[in-house]
Amino acid sequence: MAFLFPKSVIAIYDPTSVPNNKFGIHITQEADLEEAAKLVNSSGGDWGYATIVIRKDQRDTLRWQNVFNQMRRLHLIPIVRIATQQQNGGWEKPSVDEIDGWVSFLSSLNWPTQNMYVAIGNEPNHAKEWGGEISPEDYALYLNAFVDKARAKSSDFFLLAAALDFSARSDVQSLDATQFIKRMLKSKADIIDRVDGWNSHSYPNPAFSGSEKASGRGTVASFAWELSYLKNMGVVKKLPVFITETGWAHNMGGLESNNLDPDVLGEKYKYAFKSVWNDPRVVAVTPFIYTYQDAPFDVFSWQKKDGSFYSFVDTFKSLEKPNGDPIQKSSGEILTVFVPPFVQSGGSFTGALFVKNTGQSIWNEEDFLLLRDIDNAIEITKIISFPKMEPSERNIVLFEARVPNEKKQISGNLTLYEKEKMITNSKSYNTTSYLAGDVIEQFLRLRNGIASALWMFRINILGY
């Protein structure tokens, strides 16, 4: 199901319309990806989520393409939160002039899924997150410009506004989130309707130690209160929810006495996932944070300083998880087709394709691709060899086929299908079927052998 926007149809899909594994984790570095996948895809799960921050000084295409390739192999869906650079104990104010760079960088990557989930900033109702000032009007301007430029570049951007801190109250350094939203909407009335989902930091407050059974603003169920508030403010769009931060502060096993004992958190996470975050509007929940060993965030870390894990991690792993099935773009190119120039009528032959995977999915990781002759000139009887192929890879596909039981010139077009969907171009071929006993039979067999040897030399040595 596609979302509709004024004057255009967006290609993103509703993530709640397909099988979805909402379990996720917030990470700080790509070195944690493998362990993160073991967390979110445990106990029957597949294709969980990982929130990760990319700063503007980290926009290295090669680095992040490698990260996305690894996430594709591990079946992790990225939620990318873009950030500026740290400055004076906080974060530099984003500039509208830098949006083109962000959009160009993000769209240059081959993402693991069709939806490219991007969160634009973080808690701008805190001055330290917005260059030392608080300006809902400037954030609305920045968000609106980002949406415009992203939409113009790619229809696959799934955009989230920055999550707000709904537990903050108005003072010199913070602005009540409801006042922040009111001023955003006064500045740009449709700004919330322009994004694709709602980004929430549903922390269990007060002091990150609240009950998992509490509801309302500033709880693990804050997202529901926030959606209700948006509705009361005139926002009519149905927004799927991404809880990109949540979690309880703990005492690290007695080192920080004011916080909860980590041994009690397992039951809290279990209740929250089963009874609160099971809300059908919630797409992903990525608790903060997989590992962080320095103050002030070490009290949220799931990993201990010695590399082991707190007991609540085992509880999280044991929770039954869905088998997600996000939409990926499947596409490829048949570069070359080889079939023997002569085949005995009614007989079989071995042919080959030289193909390239140009999509997002890993070919033949789970579903085997099908080879078809769209002209039905020959019968494809068997795929002999079809190696698993990642995006951008090229390889050889071997197949067996049978020609009609008659003497004739044969022309057709071969293409690859995933289930019932054609995912490559069609590539033409020509051959001739001959009758047994033809005077040129022995010559043709010799010619076929020579042609086969030359073709394999072309593929293996010349690369096409």
Same domain for 275 and 361, yes or no, is: no
Same domain for 209 and 141, yes or no, is: yes
Domain membership of residue 324 (yes or no) is no
**Count of C-beta atoms within a 10 Å radius of residue 400:** 14
Tokens read off for 90: 């906080």
* Helices vs strands, H then E, count in the chain: 9, 21
Same domain for 67 and 181, yes or no, is: yes
Alpha helices in 233-308 (DSSP H): 265-271
Structure confidence at residue 454 (pLDDT): 56
Same domain for 58 and 199, yes or no, is: yes
Which residue has tokens 């509709």?
Answer: 4
What pTM value is reported for the model? Answer: 0.92
Per-run averaged pLDDT (10 residues), the chain, 464 residues: 38 93 97 97 98 97 98 98 95 97 98 98 98 98 98 97 97 97 98 98 97 98 98 96 98 84 97 98 98 95 96 98 96 96 95 97 89 97 95 97 96 95 96 79 57 56 51
Same domain for 341 and 283, yes or no, is: no
CATH code for position 404: 2.60.40.10
Same domain for 218 and 285, yes or no, is: yes
Domain membership of residue 18 (yes or no) is yes
State how far the Cα of 297 lies from the Cα of 251, in Å rounded to an integer. 11
Structure confidence at residue 257 (pLDDT): 75
Domain membership of residue 327 (yes or no) is no
Strand pairing class (241-245; 198-201): parallel
Closest CA to 102 of 69, 150, 62, 64: 150
Same domain for 398 and 252, yes or no, is: no
Domain that holds residue 435: 332-462
